[in-house]
Every structure is written in C-alpha cells, then in structure tokens.
Structure 1
Amino acid sequence: MSDPHLPPEVCDYIVDLLRDKPDTLGRCCLASRSWVPRTRKHLFADIKFPYSDDLERWKRAFPNPSRSLAHYTHTLTIGCPEVVTAADAQEGGWIRAFSNVTRLEVLSGLRDLDDSHISLVPFHNLSPALKSLHVASTIFPCTRILNLVCSFRFPEDLDLAQRRVGVGTIDWDEATFQPSTSPVLTGTLRVYLPGRMGCVTRRLLDLPGGLHFRKFELSCYLGDNLRWIVTLVAGCSDTLECVDIECWVSLPFEQVDLRTASIDLSKATKLKEAVFRSKTLHVVWLVLALQNITSKHTYLHQISIYVPEIPDLAIYREVVNEVIHRQWMDLDRVLVQLWESCGIRPKVMYSVAEEKKETQRERIEGLLPKIMERGIIELENFVEFCWYRQIY
C-alpha cells in the first residue's frame, strides 16, 4: 500500500473507493503516513453529536479546537444543541472550527419539550460553503429558526420538521422578523410542521429576494395548512420543477370542503414531476390540483399518486360510501383527461402487506375503472416511507 512506485492519484482513488468503510480507512492510516490526509477526508466527512457524551469524546480527542480535524467535516449533525452552545461559549467559538460544512442538521427535543431557551446564534453563518440546512425540534421559536436560515448567504435546501405532533397546539412566537439578508434558496424546501406551516410560510414569503425553490416536499394535516401550500406553490411557480405533497384530512367525509384551498399548478409550467400522497380516502384536494394541469405543462409526463390501504367500503355508512365513490370517480375522470389531452401517464402506488396485494388491486380497480380499462395506469405496491421520519 505504501509502494513508492504507485502514483499518488492512484492511491487517492483507492482510498476514495473505501469512503464507506471506516474500519478499513483506519487501517489505511496505520499502513502509510502518506495515506493519512486522504483517509481523514472521508473519516471526518460526516460528524454526529447526538448526545453530550459524543461531544465529550470529541473534546478529549481534540482539546485545542484550532488543531482539530473539524475542517474535514461536510455534514454536521447536532442532537444536543444546548450542550454544544454551552461548550462553544466556554471555549470561545469552539463550533467555528467546522468551517467547511455543507449540510448542517440541528435536532432537538429528544429529552426536553422546551427548546425555547436554546440559542441558535453560535450556528449563525457557521460555514460559507453551507448548502443544506435541516432543523428539527419541538418548539424552537419561528423567528429563531428563520434568523438562522438568513445568516447563511447561499443555502439551497431547507428542511424544517417538528418532532412531536403532541405539541402542535403551541403557537410559535409572533415577534417581528426583519432579516438582514435574503438567502439564495434555489433547491428543495421540505416542511413537516403540523399546525405551524402558516408561520414559516408567511415569513419565508416576506424575504426581500423572494423564493426560488425548484422542489417542494410538503406535508400537511389540516385544510388550513393546505392553504399555505397553495401560497408557497404560487410564490415559486416560475421555478418549481417538482412537487411532492402529502395531505392528511382529519374531518368527517361529509364535512370536507377544500375547494377554497385547491393547489393551483396552472402557472407552474416548468413542472417535471408531480407526486401526491393522500393519507386518507379524501381525494378532493388531489382532484382539484390535477384539474389545473394543462397542455402547457410540456415537461410533465408522469404523475405519481400514493394512496392508503383501502378497506372494504361496505363498512362505511351509506352517505360516506357515496362521498368516497364520488371523489374517486372524479379522480378517475381527471386522470383520463390528462392522458387524452396531455399524454401524461398516471402511476398509482399503494402500500399493503403481501397477502393483501390482490385484494387491494381489486378495490383500486373498482374506484378507478376508466383508467384501468384503458390500461394507461401503472399500479405498483411499495414499502411505505416518509421523508420526515428520518429525523427520529
């Protein structure tokens, strides 16, 4: 491995192939001193401090922050921000050693329900190279999070999530938000904030430079939250290339009327991909969104629809059964129209246990007969996964 006749670029290439094998990289460091810089690039690329013990081990290994290997880190995950910020205050800017971070994850609320006292200021403008910011917490004040966002000049991806749905009734602070800069947000916006999307949306849209996201991954629980998704889509219609929207509707079937909050995609003509995840049998919001897609959407060729497990509809009361069939018949009609007028092929995905797959297919065929008859639909089973569950 330390053969002097082996060109350095070949050695680097070999080490790069081992990037996902930390034990092997550790042995490379012992095999040859010349391999050490390249192995450190991978060994310290992804650093996590989920608990205070992890931070203590790092501090024992690198007592002098200026001589640590933090400059190799590209992804930094902080699971105990209250401990990290305290250490940073004691040691005069300890966190600043991570100056080349491209993705910062600040996760809190694993032990305390009260994050409101935790300062995020030490993380402000941590790295000029930062492109992705992920904040998941219980009740970080809204302005505190957005001030963190605005401290970075060139972040692209923004990922905001609330850990516990149980605290969703707590209002975020309504303090005046006056950002000193307007970050260049051009990548992906992921938001999972049950009951709080309005606060974030309103303040993001107030940024002086506006929003220019290319992709949305949004999850909402209530009809009111859907209204804020409508606002976000409208604000990024000129740049939006992909929407991935998950919607839960908790109201009784006969009380649902989301027509005032339909997602208008008519101006988002640059769309290349549209994904809709209906977490209940309510699909009126989905029908209304699809009605806004026309032949002007020249880049959009497929729509993916994720549906929940469909039970035997005979278990519902007659009025509920009628509402379900009416909504799904409307969806069936709209999907046929999209195929005939725009050539857009629909894909319906469902998640059920292996032994229920055939029964589930039959029930979907009963609700979507027209597109099934025409053979213009792809019907696939999938393993259920939600992007926001990664924060746990």
Structure 2
Amino acid sequence: MTETTMSEPHLPPEISEYIVDLLRNELDTLERCCLVSRSWVPRTRKHLFADIKFLYSDDLERWKRTFPDPSRYPTHHTHTLTIGCPEVVTAADAQEGGWIRAFSNVTRLEVLSGLRDLYGSEVSLVPFHGFSPVLKSLRVASETFPCVQILNLACSFRFLEDLDLAQHMMGVGIIGRDRTVFQPSTSPVLTGTLRVYLPGRMGCVTRRLLNLPCGLHFRKLEFSCYRDDNLRWMRALVVGCSNTLECVDIECCVSIPLAQKDPWTASIDLSKAIKLKEVVFRSKTLHVNWLVLALQTITSEHRCLHHISIHVHFRPFFIDDPVNVRQTVGEEIYRQWMDLDRILVRSWESYGIRPKVVYSEAGGEKETTCIGSLLPEITERGIIELVDSVEPCWYRQIY
C-alpha cells in the first residue's frame, strides 16, 4: 500500500497578489498578511508604504527605529509623501546624506507648515528640489515659506501638473514682506489643477506664475477669495489660462460694493476661455452683481459649456418670509437677482446652458420657495435644477 503525502496549500502568485490588492486600504490586515508568507511581503509593502506621512518628529523617529539601515528604506513604494515637520525632515536629510531623494517614485508631495515654524530656525525647501522626477502634484500649506521658495520648488519638477497653494490668515503679515526676485530655471507643464487660497500674497504668486517661460496651461482653476485685492489677480489667472481652461471653481466671500469698483476688475472675464466645460460659483454672501458680470462674458463660442452651478448660502433673514422676498431682501438686491434671472434664461435659450443652484442650511420648502421668488423665470420654466447641499457651500479644507 502506497503512502500518499499531501503538499501544503498553494495559491498561484497572481491570485495571492490579487487578494493583497483588494486589501490595499486595510493597513492592519496588510500587516498581518506579511506574516502569512514571505512571498506575500513584497506585494503588501507596495500598499503599506504607498502613502507616507511625517506629520510630527515622532513619526520620523518611528521610521528610523523601524528601518535603521537607510539602504533598506522601502521608499521606492511611496507615491504620496506628506511632510508636516519640514524643519525636522530636512535636518535628518542633511545628517544622513540626502535620504529624501530615495523617495524617487513620489507623484504627490504635500508640505504642511504651521505657526511653530515662525519662532524656530529658517526652513529651506531646497532639499526637496527635484527629488522625484515623476512628481505630478504639489501642495504647500504654510504661513512661513516665502512664495519664491514655493515656486522655485514647483519649477524643479518638470512634469508637475497640479499646484495647490494655501495660506492661513494668521500668516498674512509675515508672508506679505517677501520681495525676493524669482528667476525660474525651468517651467513645469502645469496642465492639471491650480488651487489657490492665498489671502495675503495672491498678487505675489500670480505675477510669478504668469511670468513662467512656457506660460500656464491649467485645465482647472479653483480659487477661494476673501479679500477684494485678490479679485484682479484671480481675473489675471483666468485670462492667462484661457487657451486650456475647462473648469473654473470660485468661492467668493468678499464684501465690497461692486458698483464703486471697475466691473472688469471686480469680476472675471470668461470670454476667451471657450474650452470651458464647467463653471462653479460659490458665494457665501450672495454677490449677485459679481455673478452677473461674470456670466455676461459667456458667448456663443462656449460650445462645450452646458452647466453653470451657483452655490448660495442663505442667511436666516432670507427665509423668514419667502412669500414677500422682495420686501425682505430689499429693492437693490432684488433687482440684481432679476438681472441674474434674465442672464440665466438667455444662456439657456441662446447657448443651451442649464443653471444649477445648490443651497445650504437645510430648510426644505422655505429655501426652494425663496429661490423661486428670486429667480422666477427659470424656475417657472423648469430650467433650473435645485440641489440641497449637505455641507455649507462656503466650506473648504485648507489644512
């Protein structure tokens, strides 16, 4: 009688890799997968180290304890790198002979710097210059880095597409003193998204971006404006990207009497951006004149534009008496809404652009009735699409 021996269970490599890939968002499970088989380790590391965050100095210390030998760093797996303590990371980089460049496959870099840097030593972004030749997305949220440093960093990545610049209000005074000359050595492609929240240095950044040797080619511009002096720079960026622009997303919370300003400076000019597919206006304080001036620049050349979204944030007094909205909001504001109503009707009839109004602060029928009274023509004709937003339309994550 022949004795039969049974082999250990075995999965084809493509099946085991498929299983590991399904668990890519389950970090605890991935760590346990490393104990299943040595053959599973390379695939699990691919997901375990895809997103690395050094938010605090403790994170860096844990990294060093886990990988005491820099030559064994699993940095080639990292695609997203977030730095919350640049002063600590750059110091470690200097001590260990430039280990930042070991993250050579990073496609997205985030540098977050808080007020703690204001009272410490000066932090340089030079060690990050060109560290990953495949970087496509850069986000810098800081009160302390001069815009020259940030833009020099951006220009060191030849294939950079997306640029996200944010500044907290508390850093306005310090950043505003930056007067360094900007002389970029290269010009990245910049064909993705430009996201800007820079209350204190919008002009500084805009001038330097517009002077890049190869120009700007962003397909999407996303702005958050809280100061009236930012409006003209926002307009300049829209004009500068007109040849490639497909989406404009603007959050405008500037309290200025537009009648006292140059209208072409106060609003934006979309007339040359004929490749536009989507326009989004997020107005916390309902600057209807601003919307009217912007929409007046849309023409028959905008053949790709089929939808305009207007996010409104209703103050309590707007919905107290939705039947008598004209008396509630006042004659001047009511007249501005009538102008907006006429422009939206014209856009639909002439260009086939359907407006969508997204309103926040759930009030159900009250808000719907109020919008219907402010925009009677497009409401009665069923042109408008009303959407109740879950979150306030004016909220944007800065950090």
Give the shorter-chain TM-score range: over 0.9
Distance in 1 separating the partners of 2:329 and 2:41 = 66
Q: Where does residue 222 of structure 1 map in the other structure?
A: 227
The structure-2 alpha-carbon separation of the partners of 1:317 and 1:303, relative to structure 1 and needing over 3 Å to count, comes to: closer
Distance in 1 separating the partners of 2:361 and 2:263 = 28
Distance in 1 separating the partners of 2:224 and 2:213 = 25
2:169 to 165, 170, 184: 165
Q: CA RMSD in A?
A: 2.4
The structure-2 alpha-carbon separation of the partners of 1:176 and 1:321, relative to structure 1 and needing over 3 Å to count, comes to: same
SS in 1 for 2:297: coil
Matched, 1:362 2:369: yes
Tell me, yes or no, if the aligned pair for 2:113 and 2:144 is still in contact at 8 Å: no
Q: Where does residue 376 of structure 1 map in the other structure?
A: 383
**Paired AA for residue 42 in structure 1:** H
* Structure of higher CA gyration radius: 2
**Paired AA for residue 227 in structure 1:** R
How many residues are aligned here? 388
Shift of 1:201: 0.6
The structure-2 alpha-carbon separation of the partners of 1:388 and 1:180, relative to structure 1 and needing over 3 Å to count, comes to: farther
**Paired AA for residue 336 in structure 2:** Q
Shift of 1:268: 0.8
Q: Where does residue 287 of structure 1 map in the other structure?
A: 292
TM-score in terms of structure 2 length? 0.91
**Paired AA for residue 165 in structure 1:** M
The structure-2 alpha-carbon separation of the partners of 1:14 and 1:309, relative to structure 1 and needing over 3 Å to count, comes to: same
Tell me, yes or no, if the aligned pair for 1:192 and 1:388 is still in contact at 8 Å: no
Q: Where does residue 91 of structure 1 map in the other structure?
A: 96
Q: Where does residue 174 of structure 1 map in the other structure?
A: 179
SS in 1 for 2:218: coil
2:22 to 6, 17, 25: 17
Shift of 1:298: 1.1
Tell me, yes or no, if the aligned pair for 2:110 and 2:139 is still in contact at 8 Å: yes
Residues 11-50 of structure 1 mapped to structure 2, 5 A cutoff: 11-50=16-55
Matched, 1:338 2:343: no
Shift of 1:6: 2.6
Matched, 1:73 2:78: yes
**Paired AA for residue 82 in structure 2:** T
Shift of 1:317: 12
Shift of 1:4: 6.4
The structure-2 alpha-carbon separation of the partners of 1:252 and 1:319, relative to structure 1 and needing over 3 Å to count, comes to: farther
Shift of 1:3: 6.6
Q: Where does residue 250 of structure 1 map in the other structure?
A: 255
Matched, 1:118 2:123: yes
Distance in 2 separating the partners of 1:318 and 1:36 = 70
User: Bigger CA drift: 168-177 or 54-63?
Assistant: 168-177
- Which string of whole-angstrom CA distances, capped at 9 and with x for unpartnered residues, describes residues 285-339 of structure 1? 1111111112211111111110111432589998982332122111111101100
User: Bigger CA drift: 376-385 or 107-116?
Assistant: 107-116
Tell me, yes or no, if the aligned pair for 1:18 and 1:24 is still in contact at 8 Å: yes
Matched, 1:325 2:334: yes
- Which string of whole-angstrom CA distances, capped at 9 and with x for unpartnered residues, describes residues 173-227 of structure 1? 1211001111111111000111321111100000001000011111111232111
Distance in 2 separating the partners of 1:226 and 1:32 = 58
Q: Where does residue 348 of structure 1 map in the other structure?
A: 357
Distance in 2 separating the partners of 1:81 and 1:123 = 10
Tell me, yes or no, if the aligned pair for 1:194 and 1:221 is still in contact at 8 Å: yes
Q: Which runs of 5+ in 1 are unaligned?
A: none
SS in 2 for 1:111: helix
Q: Where does residue 143 of structure 1 map in the other structure?
A: 148
Distance in 2 separating the partners of 1:3 and 1:276 = 62
Q: Where does residue 240 of structure 1 map in the other structure?
A: 245
Tell me, yes or no, if the aligned pair for 1:114 and 1:138 is still in contact at 8 Å: no
Distance in 2 separating the partners of 1:177 and 1:116 = 23
The structure-2 alpha-carbon separation of the partners of 1:32 and 1:358, relative to structure 1 and needing over 3 Å to count, comes to: same
User: Bigger CA drift: 115-124 or 227-236?
Assistant: 115-124
Q: Where does residue 200 of structure 2 map in the other structure?
A: 195
- Which string of whole-angstrom CA distances, capped at 9 and with x for unpartnered residues, describes residues 25-79 of structure 1? 1111100111111110000000111111111100111122221111111000000
Q: Which runs of 5+ in 2 are unaligned?
A: 1-6
**Paired AA for residue 213 in structure 1:** F
Distance in 2 separating the partners of 1:255 and 1:166 = 29
Tell me, yes or no, if the aligned pair for 2:251 and 2:394 is still in contact at 8 Å: no
**Paired AA for residue 166 in structure 1:** M
TM-score in terms of structure 1 length? 0.93
The structure-2 alpha-carbon separation of the partners of 1:30 and 1:372, relative to structure 1 and needing over 3 Å to count, comes to: same
The structure-2 alpha-carbon separation of the partners of 1:274 and 1:233, relative to structure 1 and needing over 3 Å to count, comes to: same
Shift of 1:262: 2.5
Q: Where does residue 272 of structure 2 map in the other structure?
A: 267
Distance in 2 separating the partners of 1:385 and 1:30 = 46
The structure-2 alpha-carbon separation of the partners of 1:172 and 1:241, relative to structure 1 and needing over 3 Å to count, comes to: farther
Distance in 2 separating the partners of 1:388 and 1:63 = 42
The structure-2 alpha-carbon separation of the partners of 1:346 and 1:320, relative to structure 1 and needing over 3 Å to count, comes to: closer
